[in-house]
Amino acid sequence: MIKFTRRDFLSSLAVCSMASIIPARIAYGKPLGQEQLLSLDINEGGVDGNGSIVLVKKPLILHAGHYSNITFSPDAGYFGPGPIFMARNGKVIHNNITVSGFSGPGCKILSDSEIGNSFIALGKCNYSNNGDLRRTTLTSSANMRFSPSIFVADSSLFKPGDFIWIGDGKFKIREIKGSEILLVTGAPPNIISPMVFSGGYDKCTVGQFVTMNGDDKHGIRIGNGGYGWDIDLSQSKIESSHNSGAGFYHACKKFNGKQIIENITSIGNGYINIGMSYMREGVIKNCIARDSGNNGIDVFATSKKVDIHDNIVSGAGVDGIFIGGDGESARVYDNKISNCRRVGILINARLNPIKEVFVKGNMILNSGMNSLTLTGVESGAVNENNLNGSVKRPTIYLERRNGLALSGILNISDNTISNSSSGDIGTNYPGYSNTSEAAVKIKSARKLDVSGIKGY
């Protein structure tokens, strides 16, 4: 009989304990079968694939929480979703992870806990080419409020019954005749107007994206529509491009946590490039967002504790940067925005007027509608922006929000405004003046073309 000393016993416990927290590893570059990955997935220390490729052949749910150096791709004949990563102790960590090529959604980051969850990305992560993106472009202009059909470059991507996005509206295909797509129209007396199933009607020009609806087919989705997650991307570089839905998407409807969103390159996604839903505290910075079907960067609701700055946004199918707020909104500064189909920056009040808006130092070039729209904004500062090229509305447009009465002082000063086809500053809110309860104070080195604001 072998006798163990107390030291031997404690040493064996330490070895077992350490084994449970050291990441499971496999040989570098070796293909990793789905079953083998699942056998390693019980390890508390996570799984380090050392550069391995996992060919997914059936829906995959993982629970270890921490994953490193693995590429997830669909096996031949598999057309389902990418992996679901469940939080372990409230946390999911990705370190050099790639999820690419899935016909369904790329990956989802979920938790059994309603609140208190976090996602951390490290190294280089890639969530691209998921959801079977199908999109083409308009070959002739279309005012979607009065266009029962559209003409596109490639109609073979679609079939009758498909839902498609054109600008900010979701429509349904009734029939296809060559390059012409006929849309389901409304009931009498609106038989000329196509029926919009979500969003609204835009005046679209040649080149506007026409995209197959990609609901929930994002590159990466964090959360399940409840409380927000803590997100930290500060130690990573993320690519999230050419997905059917959004590229990088935080799915929440309740404020919670802090989101540090930086160093994302997101190009050519069917819907939004970077979508953050609800942000109470955090930052979106140093991101590149190009050629999205809808908005480049989109945050449904924000607070003044959110900073959006030093991003490059171009070619958005709708707005470059869209920000919502209820009484307050994010600070937006030092962004470079160009060639967006509708508005460069749009700040939109929800239930209450936005106070103390802060928009400074942004460069906005060639907007299809106008450079900057403030909807339901009653006070704050719009200073030192370079706004070049607005077509359908004044460069800075102060938009009425139905049901909201405004008060306070909005300072618009020292902005460089050029190439505005419809004036420099304008509004459709009847209460703005330079002296009233809703006061607009304008300072400029040159005389501006101002309309709708009493006293100018």
**Residue range 102-126: mean pLDDT, rounded:** 98
Query: Predicted confidence band at 172 (pLDDT cuts at 50, 70, 90)?
Result: very high
Task: With a cut of 70, say whether residue 447 has pLDDT above it.
Answer: yes
Query: Which of 27-41, 320-334, 420-434 has the weakest average pLDDT?
Result: 27-41
Phi and psi, residue 14, nearest 5°? -65, -40
- Using DSSP bridges, classify how beta strands 357-360 and 396-399 pair: parallel, antiparallel or unpaired: unpaired
For residues 377 and 352, is the Cβ–Cβ distance under 8 A? no
Token couple for 317:
């199918």
Question: Where residue 31 falls among pLDDT bands split at 50, 70, 90?
Answer: confident
What is the pLDDT, as a whole number, of residue 19?
Answer: 41
The region of weakest confidence among 6-15, 32-41, 178-187 is 6-15
Residue 18 has pLDDT above 70, yes or no: no
Does pLDDT of 45 surpass 90?
A: no
Beta bridge partners of 359: 332, 382
pLDDT band at 12 (very low <50, low <70, confident <90, very high): very low
- Per-residue pLDDT, averaged over 181-186, amounts to 94
Helices (H), 131-177: none
Sign of CA dihedral 135, 140, 141, 142: negative
In the block, tokens 């370079």 appear at: 386
Mind listing the pLDDT tens digit for each residue in 201-211? Answer: 999 999 999 99
Alpha-carbon separation of residue 266 from 213, 246, 303, 352 (angstroms): 18, 9, 24, 32
Look over the chain and give the mean of its residue pLDDT values, rounded to a whole number: 93
Q: Where are the beta strands (DSSP E) in 303-424?
A: 306-309, 312-314, 321-325, 331-333, 336-338, 343-349, 357-360, 363-367, 370-375, 380-383, 386-390, 396-399, 408-413, 416-420
Specify the pLDDT at position 239.
Answer: 98
Does residue 404 carry a pLDDT above 90?
Answer: yes
In whole angstroms, give the CA distance from residue 432 to residue 415. 19
How far apart CA 239 and CA 148 sit, in angstroms, is 37
What letter would DSSP give residue 254?
Answer: B
| Whole-angstrom distance, CA of residue 159 vs CA of residue 173 | 7
- With contact defined as beta carbons under 8 Å apart, do 425 and 444 qualify? no
Give yes or no for a contact between 103 and 216, defined as CB atoms under 8 angstroms apart: no
This prediction has a pTM of 0.94
* DSSP assigned state of 10: H
Task: Name the residue type at position 315.
Answer: G
- Mean pLDDT over residues 154-172, rounded? 98
Return the CATH number of 135-212, one of 2.60.40, 2.60.120, 3.30.70, 2.40.30: 2.40.30
- Is the N-terminal amide bond of 189 cis, ω within 30° of 0? yes
Neighbours of 404 (CB within 10 A): 17
Cα–Cα–Cα angle for 289, 294, 300, nearest 5°?
Answer: 85
Range with the poorest average pLDDT among 35-49, 150-164, 269-283, 398-412? 35-49
- Euclidean distance between the first and final Cα of the chain, in Å? 100
447-451 mean pLDDT? 97
Residue type, 228: G
Predicted local distance difference test score (pLDDT) of residue 29: 63
